[in-house]
Amino acid sequence: MKITDVETVLLTGPCSNDPFITECRKLRSAAFIEVHTDSGMVGIGETYAGYFCPEIVPGIVEFFKPILVGQTVEDIQQLWDRMFHCGNYWCRVGLGVGVMSGIEAALWDLKGKAEGLPVYELLGGRKHEKLPCYATGGPSNYPKDRLAAKVDFYLSLGFRAFKLGVGSFSSGSSFTPSAPAEAADFEADKMTFLRSHVGNDVSVLLDGHMGNSPDITWDLPTAQAVVKALEPYDLFFFEEPLHYTDPWGYAELCRSTSVPIAGGECLTTVYEWRMFVESASFDIGQPDAAFTGGLGEFLKVAAVFASRGRKIATHSWGAGGALLQNLHCGFACANTVILEIPPAMGGLHTDVADGSFVMEEGMALPPDKPGLGIVLTDEIKNRYPFVPGSGEFNSVPGKILTD
């Protein structure tokens, strides 16, 4: 079975069927990569880059395509190494390997289909019978009765854990306190309300979004004040309380609090991750198999965390392909502690995953279809035609996000 072609498929559809998330984001774009073979079998993967800058993805795929055409999937690491070396000047980290993630996933999908096995079996075998899931809920919708309704919605879907953003979102605008005392008081008040509403048996996670904040980025004193105020509330973890340009601040923050500090969704390849791991910047790492370099790099990142006695939690905010790529990686890594799951998924999740994601009582079950389980029919492609400009980015003067 030899590779005959590599194609990019760009799609646009509803961001979610979650009414609380769609208050702030209604559409999502997605970039899938199809690897065709002379057997007629097609491997499918997704790059998370398609959520942010979909128009750029096809050119990068075309750049790598000659490396793959005529090859087999016997040695996926060798093909990855060739792509990585060919783009040495611009894909050691960042967008290049982000797109390679989707290509590499399609190769694993092909290999799994050819061997009749779920991909996690090719990655060293399944390490868990089931894994806990959390509903990734985006912003904290306010006022508090709206926040309570949001949480109740996630619990009604079967989740026993949920994640909310810091600050608040109301009437189309966000608010995030920046002064240490104000930010600490705001988040402690929120957690007091949440714990009184859901009790202590539901896991609560918070996301600072400070690696990608829409309005304010905390400094270390602010982050320290906030997490100190949150220590009594038994947070599962606090994600992204600082920007990713400050691994040293992350390390100091980890040393100064009992709240587990998580992060890493913006990081790519073990090369970039090592700076954060070796400085003990995260208690819990959050690699994304659709962005960090692929499934192989995900496992390497997880192994580095395991060598330090630390856990990982999948990041997953791409479409259905990204969901399944991270699901397989989560089950293949012994130190996976929880899975990020988009609640009330839209069609670019449910149609593409086609039943491969199953959650029972807040726990994900391992997928059992050969390959990754990604489905991308002509009907799906026609149902979600690509809308140029539908990628998400941070608004700045001259380039304002409208959705």
Report residue 276 as tokens. Answer: 């954060």
**Residue 103 C-alpha from the chain's centroid:** 17
Task: State the alpha helices, DSSP H only, in 75-137.
Answer: 76-86, 95-115, 119-122
- Consecutive H or E run containing 353: helix 347-353
d(CA 35, CA 23): 36
d(CA 376, CA 275): 37
Domains and CATH numbers, the chain: 3-117+377-383 (3.30.390.10), 121-365 (3.20.20.120)
- Consecutive H or E run containing 150: helix 144-156
Q: Bridge-partner residues for 371, per DSSP?
A: 118
Question: 125, 330 in Cβ contact below 8 A?
Answer: no
List of E strands, 284-328: 284-285, 311-314
How many other CB atoms are there within 10 angstroms of residue 179's CB atom? 13
Report residue 88 as tokens. Answer: 């040495």
**Sequence-ordered list of residues with C-beta below 8 angstroms from that of 244, at least 6 positions apart, any chain:** 211, 263, 266, 267
Q: What are phi and psi of 105, to 5 degrees?
A: -60, -40
Whether omega before 143 lies within 30 degrees of 0, making that bond cis, reads yes
Strand-strand pairing, 131-136 and 238-239: unpaired
- In which residue are the tokens 């990855």 written? 80
- In which residue are the tokens 């905390």 written? 218
Q: Is 361 exposed, middle or buried (0-12, 13-18, 19+ CB in 10 A)?
A: exposed
DSSP 215-280: S----HHHHHHHHHHHGGG--S-EE--S-TT-HHHHHHHHHT-SSPEEE-TT--HHHHHHHHHHTT
- In which residue are the tokens 């995953």 written? 353
Q: From its phi and psi, is residue 131 left (phi > 0), alpha (psi between -120 and 50) or beta? A: beta
Half-sphere exposure of 247 (CA within 13 A, CB side): 15
Tens of pLDDT, residues 283-307: 999 999 999 999 999 999 999 999 9
Question: 190, 143 in Cβ contact below 8 A?
Answer: no
| DSSP class of 177 | -
Question: 284, 268 in Cβ contact below 8 A?
Answer: no
Question: 203, 160 in Cβ contact below 8 A?
Answer: yes
d(CA 40, CA 61): 20
d(CA 386, CA 303): 37
Question: 374, 11 in Cβ contact below 8 A?
Answer: no
Question: 65, 6 in Cβ contact below 8 A?
Answer: yes
Which pLDDT belongs to residue 214?
61
Q: Is 389 exposed, middle or buried (0-12, 13-18, 19+ CB in 10 A)?
A: middle
Which pLDDT belongs to residue 400?
84
Report residue 59 as tokens. Answer: 């050119």
Tens of pLDDT, residues 166-176: 999 999 899 99
Q: From its phi and psi, is residue 298 left (phi > 0), alpha (psi between -120 and 50) or beta? A: alpha
- In which residue are the tokens 């002379």 written? 38
Which pLDDT belongs to residue 218?
96
R_g over Cα of the chain: 20
| DSSP class of 88 | T
Total H helices, total E strands in the chain: 14, 15
The pLDDT profile of the chain, 403 residues, written as one tens digit per residue, is 999 999 999 999 999 999 999 999 999 999 999 999 999 999 999 999 999 999 999 999 999 999 999 999 999 999 999 999 999 999 999 999 999 999 999 999 999 999 999 999 999 999 999 999 999 999 999 999 999 999 999 999 999 999 999 999 999 899 999 999 999 999 999 999 999 999 999 999 999 999 777 678 999 999 999 999 999 999 999 999 999 999 999 999 999 999 999 999 999 999 999 999 999 999 999 999 999 999 999 999 999 999 999 999 999 999 999 999 999 999 999 999 999 999 999 999 999 999 999 999 999 999 999 999 999 999 999 999 999 999 998 888 888 887 7
